[in-house]
Amino acid sequence: MTLEYYIILAFLLFAIGLYGAFSRRSAIMIFISIEIMLNAVNISLVAFSKFSAIATAYGHIFTIFSMVVAAAEVTIGLAIVLAIFRHFEDIDTNDINLLK
């Protein structure tokens, strides 16, 4: 296994996540797509760190940061989705368009 395979995998996962984030309408599905994108980033960070010419641990450390931030983001995101559901009784992003 060389670096290319990991980077191609990361790019594919990222593209899937990006497509999902823009095509899905449910807020929860968009959050899942964002998580896929962030996990693609984690793969690429760890792979770069492992195969880098100068052995560094920066990528591994960066991954831990990105996982923590992703968890925090989803926590706030789900709280906001709950607030949306209380107000609109719906989490379809197409139906929530008071602000135009």
Partner 1 sequence: MLETITFFLPEICIALTAIIILISGLFIKNRNVLTAISCIGIIASAVLTVIYQYDPMSHGIVYASGLLCIDMTSFYFRMLFAVIALLVVMASQDYAKNFESKYPEYLVLINLALLGMTLLVSSYNLISMFASLELMALSFYALTSLMNTKQSAEAGMKYILLGGINSAILLFGMSLVFGYTGSINIDDIFFSIMGTADPEIGLILGIAMIIAGFSFKTAAVPFHSWAPDVYDGSPTTITLFLSTASKLAGMATLARLIEIVSYGSPTVLAPKLAIVIAVLSVLSMLVGNIGAIRQTNIKKMLAFSGISQTGYMMLALAAFCLNAADASVSNYEIFIGLITFAVAFALAEAAAFTGVITISDHIKSDKIENYRGIAKQAPFAAVVITIALLSLMGLPATAGFIGKFEVFASTHNTVLIIIGVLNSVISAAYYLNVIRVMWTGENEYKGKIEASWLPLTVMVVAATLVIGIGLFGFNYI
Asked if 50 touches partner 1 (CB under 8 A), the answer is no
Asked if 7 touches partner 1 (CB under 8 A), the answer is yes
How is 20-68 classified by DSSP, letter by letter?
HHHH--BHHHHHHHHHHHHHHHHHHHHHHHHH-SS--SHHHHHHHHHHH
Contact indicator for 95, 28 with CB cutoff of 8 Å: no
Contact indicator for 10, 38 with CB cutoff of 8 Å: no
Choose, by CB under 8 A, the member of 9, 12, 59, 92 that binds partner 1. Answer: 59
Asked if 71 touches partner 1 (CB under 8 A), the answer is no
Residues in touch with partner 1 (CB under 8 A): 7, 10, 14, 17-18, 21-22, 27, 30-31, 33-34, 37-38, 40-41, 44-45, 47-48, 52-54, 56, 58-59, 61-62, 65-66, 69, 72-73, 76-77, 79-81, 83-84, 86-88, 93, 96-100
